[in-house]
Structure 1
Amino acid sequence: MSAWKIVVLDGDTLPDRPFALDFEHELVWHGRSETAEVAERIRDADAVVTNKVVVNADAIAGAPRLKLIAVTATGVNNVDTAAAAQAGVAVCNVRAYGNESVAEHAFMLMIALMRNLPAYQRDIRAGLWQKSPFFCSFGAPMRDLNGKTLVIFGRGGIGETLAAYARAFHMKVVFGEHKGAAQVREGYVAFEEALRLADALSLHCPLTEQTAGMIGAAELAQMKPDAVLINCGRGGLVDEAALLDALENGRIGGAGLDVLSVEPPRNGHPLLDADLPNLIITPHMAWGSTEAVNRLFDIVLANINAFAAGKPQNIVG
């Protein structure tokens, strides 16, 4: 086949490794791209590689040679997949590369909040231990994971991996059914019942019209007042204003978030401004262990090579 032109739109999100492919190609590398730049950058591309840069219908329509959009992530909500399908353009993604990385991060957030680690770090900085009349200094309550109930929404690779970690700590694991589901599947617990059972609740589901805002004021009110909420999925799964209100007023025990509804939060964010000892926020990096990032890169290259060889894999839709 003739040489393909492959355009990478946000290469700075990938590891610093050679973009080695098995066929003749021209590689055009952009460290980052704005949406307004995409159409011009891909107009004569055969394949496009994107992590979070939006590839919309207009950009696809203006790229008559385009054959493949390789997304360097699992979620493909930044690509107009309907327009791609109509134009005969395949879309592939990367699956299961970060199960361990994200599950370990969620578990870290959960155990840190159950042990109230941020509160004790605050106390140390305030000199409370230094002033204690005893060898120890107690403040916020600490709880064991042993015997507690972890509710997980999302039963993919990450959810199942997290469940295995939790069971190793002798937690009871419950998978919650979809909100508003007409029937409860075998092995799941009804949405509202799951909320009430949770000592810890972890979100690992995609952001869709059905899941947007799935945890809001009404749902937080049904949870135990000392329960902790973990979100390593997407920021839009949670009503952030309702969560902040619940944290500030003691209606939930704590929250650990790796995602926000707007990323990056260039104009600030109320949760980032909140000085709360029971809130941990990390900058959407749960997926990014060294092992996971290299695994992702390997799969991206394999996806492109397989497609060019006429053996497509990890095709979406």
Structure 2
Amino acid sequence: MSTTADAATRTAGAAMRIVITDCDHDSLAVEQRVADEAGAELVLAPPGGREQLVAAAAGADGLVVQYARVDAALLDALPGVRAVGRYGVGVDTVDVAACTERGVAVCNVPDYGTESVSDHAIALALAAARRIAWMDRGVRAGTAGLDAVRPVHQVGGRVFGVVGLGLIGAATARKAAGLGYEVIGADSRLEPGSTVAGVRVVPLEELLRRAHVISLHVPLTESTRGLVGAAELALVRPDAVLVNTSRGGVVDSAALVDALREGRLHGAGLDVHEVEPLPVDHPLAALDTVVLTPHLAWYSEESYGELKRRTVQNVVDVLAGRRPRDVLNPEVLDGGRR
């Protein structure tokens, strides 16, 4: 991989230049193997602001992004870019419309973490419902009383509600059913009364009123931002737990804190947060009824390697004139360049 010292210089003979805008992974060996097989130059941009990124990515044919924002201004500063690949499922940091207008293909990896995220959602649901973290802290503090954690219920006879029945939501539903939950789902794309992956689809309001576990599996869009707010939490039964492994912005965290403090919700299991990393003094961190993890539901050794390989391979395929496995705006592959 090119070092930051020569990041702005194309390696002689390289057929394509791919710049990783930012990445906190411990190694880029997987990405480098994909690039080497394609005869591509792979560059990791140095840390810094927008100006430093533009300088490092000068002459880039493709970008790979983790957290960096890709917008019209960045694309206009890098007119040679033909593909943007994002590490992950969501592309809320990428302006897909601006990319499409400029003939830039946007690729993600929509199914790499299906098993890992659904595993984590189930783990959070059980931990919050059984108040495992609260009990753990009690044992460590030398207390083992029952009264503090009551009520705790068994799975049998409980309802597990899945909001968003895409790949991860469907996998979570399958695992919840295997544990003995009755599973229902809500999805704005699906007609209430229909059945998808063995799950009966109901209106969101019905799911919120009935479910003992509400597990969120929707992308962050303008229509889903604040999907679960004060009005929605007012519908939820007090013995329910809320699980979020999708995006922090889907839940109004202030409204969630109020519901938990007032005993209108049994607990919550949150892997994603409106502000990441979650500040240590955030009100959620002070609540014993909340189980928190640091946006790592996607991680397993298996999913980690797959994510890295496929992210770069998608970009390589676009630059090589092949249709990638995953592309959000396929029309640009047939409509020519800017």
By the TM > 0.5 criterion, same fold? yes
| CA drift at 1:304 | 2.7
Is residue 208 of structure 2 the alignment partner of residue 216 of structure 1? no
Aligned residue pairs, count:
307
Alignment gaps of 5+ in structure 1? none
Identity %: 37
Matches within 5 A, 1:128-147: 128-129=143-144, 139-140=148-149, 141-147=151-157
Distance 1:199 1:191, change over 3 A: same
Alignment gaps of 5+ in structure 2? 1-12, 196-200, 330-338
**Partner Cα distance (1:151, 1:169) in 2:** 14
Is residue 181 of structure 2 the alignment partner of residue 171 of structure 1? yes
Contact 1:112 1:118 in 2 (8 A): yes
**Partner Cα distance (2:17, 2:187) in 1:** 44
Distance 1:12 1:52, change over 3 A: same
Match of residue 184 from structure 1: 192
Is residue 59 of structure 2 the alignment partner of residue 44 of structure 1? yes
Matches within 5 A, 1:101-250: 101-129=116-144, 139-140=148-149, 141-178=151-188, 184=192, 186-187=194-195, 188-250=201-263
Q: What CA RMSD, in Å, does the superposition of the two structures yield over aligned residues?
A: 2.2
| CA drift at 1:258 | 0.6
**Partner Cα distance (1:301, 1:212) in 2:** 29
> For structure 1, which segment, 98-107 or 78-87, has the greater mean C-alpha deviation from structure 2 after superposition?
78-87
Q: Which runs of 4+ in 1 moved over 6 A?
A: none
One-letter amino acid of the structure 2 residue matched with residue 315 of structure 1: V
Contact 1:15 1:293 in 2 (8 A): no
**Partner Cα distance (2:299, 2:83) in 1:** 25
Distance 1:305 1:247, change over 3 A: same
| CA drift at 1:264 | 2.4
**Partner Cα distance (1:64, 1:159) in 2:** 38
TM-score by length of 1: 0.90
Distance 1:77 1:139, change over 3 A: closer
Is residue 327 of structure 2 the alignment partner of residue 315 of structure 1? yes
Match of residue 336 from structure 2: none
One-letter amino acid of the structure 2 residue matched with residue 253 of structure 1: H
Contact 1:49 1:72 in 2 (8 A): yes
Match of residue 99 from structure 2: 84
Contact 1:207 1:234 in 2 (8 A): yes
Alignment equivalent of 2:74, drawn from 37, 41, 59:
59
**Partner Cα distance (1:107, 1:301) in 2:** 30
**Partner Cα distance (1:242, 1:27) in 2:** 44
Contact 1:35 1:54 in 2 (8 A): no
**Partner Cα distance (1:260, 1:37) in 2:** 28
CA deviation profile, 1:13-58 (whole Å, cap 9, x unmatched): 3644241223322221136454453333323111111112111111
